[in-house]
């Protein structure tokens, strides 16, 4: 599949476009998939070939591509106003969206700060937390605790709370000195326990950190239930309950990064509301517009908000701005997305899809290289290992996941594995029949690579 010298569009791409998280030299041999259009859960190339988008185009596409209700919402807003600055000016789409989010999230979250992407929503939470403590007479609370395997974006502030070396190592010397804490690892549990029956004994390292360093800690940041970039590592809600109690006891904020897992992915609209948690900050993005336009929010409550509220001379205002803050087109699309998710029994309709994915995945568990199949709601992950008995991973230079991805393209399925983890994060509108096709095709791809 070497890049053809006569393929003008791909030649232009190769010479001028720098793709994210990509070793561009790979595209000498395998050009990127040139998508011409998309419909439902499918992508179509220039020749009309169809590919099932089983990762929702980097986890954003909740409701399928080219959704008529979302199209109509954007078109209607476009006829009124495409953009206006959001300082000294407000507009109905933003007001409506803020009210909906406050109604759908835990009662303590009453304030919505808009931004444009997940990394920024995390940066805002970090900044708000530090400034809150500073303006509350505790300027020493300026560090953050984060979990090994945690991922919260790739700006420098977000990288300072990243527990994945591949992302942070080149920038280590310029990152803020935050505190990494050993996090849950249910597949290779050091306690020898199972997530369905344990009491989150793995919380012990975090408990000790909070006990010994709470005077310098502003907040603890977590991806609740699923650590996405770490390979869809999953852990029980008991960990979150312990975290909430311990942070309250020690006077430390909690930041829930639900950028990847919010908006129905786990089977609940939001993890925090479904599990009856009340984080100090909630970061949302990705699925908020179902992949149509960039948008993010950081939510918090009255206690934090009040620390910034005062006379102008106090200079306690929160200074963080973006030219496209609360873009009306994006807010209109987000409103339509939430209307769909909260109407017509949409969330209840996820149950048979979740069950279908779990049932179909049994055929993956029979693979001799299946270290573990794990699933939370509509997020499923197959971790491939060299030795099933010991859990020994494949060497990274064998590029097992990448080779499975290439096999998928031959069979009309678009995957983007995380190392040796083949994961499924399809649009929520996928049918049970399509789930069966997705899982079976992935199984065939693994067999083709590891048992040619």
Domain ranges, ordered by start, for the chain: 33-66+349-450, 71-342
Q: How far apart are the C-alpha atoms of 324 and 116, rounded to whole Å?
A: 7
Listed in sequence order, the DSSP H helices in 187-236 are 204-213
d(CA 361, CA 439): 6
Helix or strand holding residue 372 (H, E): strand 370-376
Contact 350, 83 (CB under 8 A): no
Residue 447 phi, psi (nearest 5): -60, -40
Whole-angstrom distance, CA of residue 178 vs CA of residue 360: 42
> End-to-end CA distance of the chain, in Å?
19
pLDDT tens digits, one per residue of 298-347:
999 999 999 999 999 999 999 999 899 999 999 999 999 999 999 989 99
Q: Which residues does residue 256 pair with via DSSP β-bridges, in sequence order?
A: 222, 282
Query: How far, rounded to the nearest angstrom, does the alpha carbon of residue 43 sit from its chain's CA centroid?
Result: 21
Q: Which long-range contacts (CB under 8 A, 24 or more apart) does 79-86 make?
A: 80/328, 81/328, 82/328, 82/329, 83/324, 83/327, 83/328, 83/329, 84/328, 85/323, 85/325, 86/114, 86/325, 86/326
SS3 221: strand
**For the whole model, what pTM was predicted?**
0.96
Token pair 């791409």 is found at 13
What local confidence, expressed as pLDDT, does residue 1 receive? 44
Under CATH, what is the fold of the domain 71-342? 3.40.640
User: What are the residues facing 146 on neighbouring strands?
Assistant: 180, 221
Question: Which residues make Cβ contacts (< 8 Å) with residue 242, sequence separation at least 6?
Answer: 200, 203, 206, 207
- In the DSSP assignment, the letter for residue 40 is B
Q: Mark the ranges of the chain whose per-residue pLDDT is less than 50.
A: 1
pLDDT score of 135: 97
Rounded to 10 deg, the angle between the 328-342 and 92-104 helix axes is: 40
pLDDT, tens digit, for every residue of 221-231? 999 999 999 99
370-376 vs 253-257, strand pairing mode: unpaired
Task: Tell me the H-state helices in 60-215.
Answer: 68-80, 92-104, 118-135, 156-159, 165-168, 204-213
Say if domain 33-66+349-450 classifies as CATH 1.10.10.10.
no
Q: Are 341 and 265 in contact (CB under 8 A)?
A: no
Question: What is the reported pLDDT for 317?
Answer: 93
Q: Is there a contact between 207 and 242 (Cβ–Cβ < 8 Å)?
A: yes
Q: Are 114 and 326 in contact (CB under 8 A)?
A: yes
> Which residues does residue 174 pair with via DSSP β-bridges, in sequence order?
none
Burial of 345 (0-12, 13-18, 19+ CB in 10 A): exposed
């Amino acid at each position: 599949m070497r890049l053809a010298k006569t393929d003008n569009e791909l030649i232009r791409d190769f010479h001028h476009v720098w793709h994210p998280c990509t070793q561009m030299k790979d595209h000498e041999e395998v050009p990127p998939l040139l998508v011409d259009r998309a419909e439902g859960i499918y992508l179509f190339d220039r020749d009309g070939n169809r590919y099932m988008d089983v990762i929702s185009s980097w986890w954003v596409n909740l409701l399928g591509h080219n959704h008529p209700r979302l199209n109509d919402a954007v078109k209607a807003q476009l006829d009124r106003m495409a953009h206006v600055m959001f300082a000294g000016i407000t507009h109905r789409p933003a007001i409506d969206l803020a009210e909906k989010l406050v109604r759908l999230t835990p009662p303590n979250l009453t304030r919505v700060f808009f931004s444009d992407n997940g990394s920024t929503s995390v940066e805002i939470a970090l900044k708000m937390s530090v400034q809150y403590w500073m303006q509350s007479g505790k300027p020493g609370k300026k560090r953050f605790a984060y979990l090994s395997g945690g991922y919260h974006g790739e700006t420098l502030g977000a990288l300072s709370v990243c527990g994945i070396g591949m992302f942070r190592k080149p920038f280590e010397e310029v990152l803020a000195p935050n505190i990494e804490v050993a996090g849950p690892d249910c597949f290779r549990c050091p306690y020898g326990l199972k997530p369905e029956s344990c009491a989150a004994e793995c919380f012990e390292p975090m408990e000790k950190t909070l006990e010994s360093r709470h005077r310098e800690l502003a907040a603890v940041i977590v991806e609740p239930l699923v650590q996405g970039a770490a390979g869809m590592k999953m852990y029980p809600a008991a960990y979150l309950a312990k975290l909430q109690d311990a942070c309250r006891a020690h006077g430390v904020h909690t930041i829930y990064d639900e950028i990847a897992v919010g908006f129905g992915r786990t089977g609940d609209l939001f993890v925090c509301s479904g599990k009856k948690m009340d984080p100090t900050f909630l970061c949302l993005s990705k699925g908020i517009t179902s992949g149509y336009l960039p948008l993010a929010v950081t939510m918090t409550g009255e206690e934090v908000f009040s620390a910034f509220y005062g006379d102008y001379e106090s200079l306690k205002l929160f200074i963080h701005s973006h030219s496209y803050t609360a873009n009306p087109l994006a807010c209109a699309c987000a409103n339509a997305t939430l209307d769909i998710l909260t109407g017509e029994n949409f969330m209840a309709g996820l149950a048979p899809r979740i069950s279908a994915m779990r049932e179909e995945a049994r055929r993956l568990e029979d693979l001799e290289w299946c270290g573990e199949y794990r699933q939370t709601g509509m997020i499923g992950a197959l971790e491939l290992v060299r030795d099933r008995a010991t859990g020994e991973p494949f060497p990274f230079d064998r590029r097992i996941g990448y080779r499975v991805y290439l096999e998928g393209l031959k069979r009309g399925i678009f995957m983007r594995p995380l190392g040796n983890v083949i994961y499924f994060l399809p649009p929520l509108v996928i049918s049970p029949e399509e789930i069966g096709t997705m899982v079976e095709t992935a199984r065939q791809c693994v067999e083709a690579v590891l048992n040619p």
